[in-house]
Structure 1
Amino acid sequence: MQAWIKSPINPDELENTLVDVLGQMEPPTLVSTEAISGPLFPYSSSNLTILLAEDNLINQQVARLLLKKLGYPVDVVNNGQEALLALARTDYDVVLMDVEMPEMDGLTATEHIRRSHARSERRWIIAVTAYSMEGDRERCLASGMNDYVSKPIRLEALQQALQVAATALQSTSQRITTVPCVSAFEAKPSPSSPCPEDPAGTTLPPLTKT
Structure 2
Amino acid sequence: FHPLIAAATAQFGHGGDQAPALLKLELQRAAWDHIGPARTADSLNRMDAVIDDLADRAGRAAVPDYALWNQAFIEWVELRSLLDVARAVTAAARERDASVGGHVRLDRPQVSILAQPYSTVVRGQTGNGGGLRVQAVRARRPRMPAMRLLAMRLKDAWRKTQAKALCLLPPALLDPILDRRYRAILGPGDAAPAVSPGGPAAAVADAAE
- For Structure 1 versus Structure 2, the TM-score category normalised by the shorter chain is under 0.3
Greater relative contact order (CA < 8 Å, ≥ 6 in sequence): 1
Query: Taking structure 2 as the reference length, what is the TM-score of the superposition?
Result: 0.20
